[in-house]
Protein backbone atom coordinates (compact mmCIF):
# COMPACT_ATOMS: atom_id res chain seq x y z
CA UNK A 1 0.00 0.00 0.00
CA UNK A 2 1.21 3.48 -0.77
CA UNK A 3 2.41 6.12 1.64
CA UNK A 4 0.63 9.43 1.07
CA UNK A 5 2.77 12.47 1.62
CA UNK A 6 1.74 16.07 1.01
CA UNK A 7 3.44 19.33 0.09
CA UNK A 8 6.87 20.14 1.44
CA UNK A 9 7.20 16.69 3.00
CA UNK A 10 7.10 15.12 -0.47
CA UNK A 11 9.92 17.41 -1.62
CA UNK A 12 11.97 16.52 1.46
CA UNK A 13 11.55 12.80 0.78
CA UNK A 14 12.47 13.25 -2.88
CA UNK A 15 15.60 15.22 -1.93
CA UNK A 16 16.53 12.59 0.65
CA UNK A 17 16.17 9.81 -1.91
CA UNK A 18 18.34 11.65 -4.43
CA UNK A 19 21.08 12.73 -2.02
CA UNK A 20 21.06 9.84 0.46
CA UNK A 21 20.51 12.31 3.32
CA UNK A 22 17.88 11.81 5.99
CA UNK A 23 15.10 14.41 5.95
CA UNK A 24 14.92 16.72 8.94
CA UNK A 25 11.40 18.07 8.43
CA UNK A 26 8.19 16.59 9.69
CA UNK A 27 6.49 14.18 7.30
CA UNK A 28 2.74 13.91 6.97
CA UNK A 29 1.19 10.46 6.68
CA UNK A 30 -2.53 10.20 6.01
CA UNK A 31 -4.28 7.12 7.39
CA UNK A 32 -7.88 6.34 6.52
CA UNK A 33 -9.99 4.06 8.71
CA UNK A 34 -12.47 2.07 6.65
CA UNK A 35 -14.15 -1.24 7.62
CA UNK A 36 -12.05 -1.33 10.82
CA UNK A 37 -8.80 -1.30 8.85
CA UNK A 38 -6.08 1.31 8.40
CA UNK A 39 -5.18 2.33 4.86
CA UNK A 40 -2.31 2.09 4.24
CA UNK A 41 -1.33 -0.75 6.57
CA UNK A 42 2.40 -0.18 6.05
CA UNK A 43 4.39 3.05 6.06
CA UNK A 44 8.13 3.51 5.47
CA UNK A 45 10.17 6.36 6.99
CA UNK A 46 13.86 7.14 7.52
CA UNK A 47 15.40 6.89 11.01
CA UNK A 48 14.95 10.09 12.99
CA UNK A 49 11.77 11.16 11.20
CA UNK A 50 8.94 12.86 13.04
CA UNK A 51 5.67 11.84 11.42
CA UNK A 52 2.45 13.77 11.75
CA UNK A 53 -0.27 11.16 11.35
CA UNK A 54 -3.56 12.54 10.02
CA UNK A 55 -6.25 9.93 10.70
CA UNK A 56 -9.65 10.09 9.01
CA UNK A 57 -12.35 7.80 10.44
CA UNK A 58 -14.91 6.82 7.78
CA UNK A 59 -16.42 4.08 9.98
CA UNK A 60 -19.72 4.34 11.87
CA UNK A 61 -17.87 3.56 15.16
CA UNK A 62 -15.10 5.19 17.20
CA UNK A 63 -11.47 4.11 16.89
CA UNK A 64 -8.03 5.11 18.14
CA UNK A 65 -4.50 5.15 16.80
CA UNK A 66 -1.73 3.91 19.06
CA UNK A 67 1.85 3.98 17.72
CA UNK A 68 4.74 2.53 19.68
CA UNK A 69 6.82 -0.43 20.79
CA UNK A 70 5.29 -3.77 21.74
CA UNK A 71 5.15 -2.89 25.46
CA UNK A 72 2.82 0.03 24.69
CA UNK A 73 0.52 -2.23 22.66
CA UNK A 74 0.55 -4.89 25.39
CA UNK A 75 -0.57 -2.33 28.01
CA UNK A 76 -3.35 -1.06 25.79
CA UNK A 77 -4.52 -4.54 24.81
CA UNK A 78 -4.61 -5.62 28.46
CA UNK A 79 -6.77 -2.60 29.27
CA UNK A 80 -4.24 -0.87 31.52
CA UNK A 81 -4.36 2.35 29.50
CA UNK A 82 -7.23 4.80 29.09
CA UNK A 83 -9.24 4.92 25.89
CA UNK A 84 -9.44 8.69 25.37
CA UNK A 85 -6.12 10.08 24.24
CA UNK A 86 -4.50 13.26 23.11
CA UNK A 87 -1.65 14.21 25.43
CA UNK A 88 0.73 11.32 24.63
CA UNK A 89 2.56 11.46 21.26
CA UNK A 90 1.41 8.60 19.04
CA UNK A 91 -1.87 8.07 20.92
CA UNK A 92 -5.13 9.63 19.77
CA UNK A 93 -8.87 8.87 19.81
CA UNK A 94 -10.68 9.13 16.48
CA UNK A 95 -14.43 9.60 16.78
CA UNK A 96 -17.01 8.67 14.15
CA UNK A 97 -16.55 10.73 10.97
CA UNK A 98 -13.75 12.86 12.41
CA UNK A 99 -10.21 13.58 11.30
CA UNK A 100 -7.56 14.02 13.98
CA UNK A 101 -3.77 14.14 14.28
CA UNK A 102 -0.89 12.95 16.40
CA UNK A 103 2.89 12.99 15.99
CA UNK A 104 5.51 10.36 16.68
CA UNK A 105 9.30 10.38 16.23
CA UNK A 106 10.96 7.21 14.94
CA UNK A 107 14.47 7.15 16.44
CA UNK A 108 15.69 3.64 15.68
CA UNK A 109 15.67 1.34 12.66
CA UNK A 110 13.21 -1.53 12.73
CA UNK A 111 9.46 -1.99 12.75
CA UNK A 112 7.00 -0.12 14.94
CA UNK A 113 3.38 -1.24 15.19
CA UNK A 114 0.32 0.98 15.08
CA UNK A 115 -3.26 -0.05 15.74
CA UNK A 116 -6.55 0.33 17.54
CA UNK A 117 -7.03 -1.27 20.96
CA UNK A 118 -10.70 -0.60 21.53
CA UNK A 119 -12.30 -3.91 22.58
CA UNK A 120 -11.77 -6.54 19.89
CA UNK A 121 -10.27 -4.20 17.28
CA UNK A 122 -6.62 -5.36 17.55
CA UNK A 123 -7.68 -9.03 17.47
CA UNK A 124 -9.83 -8.30 14.42
CA UNK A 125 -6.70 -7.07 12.63
CA UNK A 126 -6.96 -3.31 12.98
CA UNK A 127 -3.23 -2.72 12.91
CA UNK A 128 -0.30 -1.89 10.70
CA UNK A 129 3.39 -1.09 10.88
CA UNK A 130 5.94 1.57 10.24
CA UNK A 131 9.18 0.30 8.74
CA UNK A 132 11.97 2.58 9.93
CA UNK A 133 15.24 2.50 8.06
Q: What is the pLDDT of residues 34-67, one digit of tens each?
A: 999 999 999 999 999 999 999 999 999 999 999 9
Look at the alpha carbons of 53, 54, 58, 61 in this order and tell me if their dihedral is positive or negative: positive
For 110-130, how does the pLDDT look when each residue is reduced to its tens digit (9 = 90+)?
A: 999 999 999 999 999 999 999
pLDDT in tens, 59-91: 999 999 999 999 999 999 887 766 667 679 999
User: Which CATH superfamily, name and number, covers 7-132?
Assistant: Cupredoxins -  blue copper proteins (2.60.40.420)
CA distance 29 to 101: 10
Q: Where are the domains of the chain?
A: 7-132
Q: Give pTM, 2 decimals.
A: 0.78
Amino acid sequence: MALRIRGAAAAVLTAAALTGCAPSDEQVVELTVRHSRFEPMEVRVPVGTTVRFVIRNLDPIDHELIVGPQAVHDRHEEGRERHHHGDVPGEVSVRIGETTETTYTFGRPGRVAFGCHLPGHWAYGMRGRVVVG
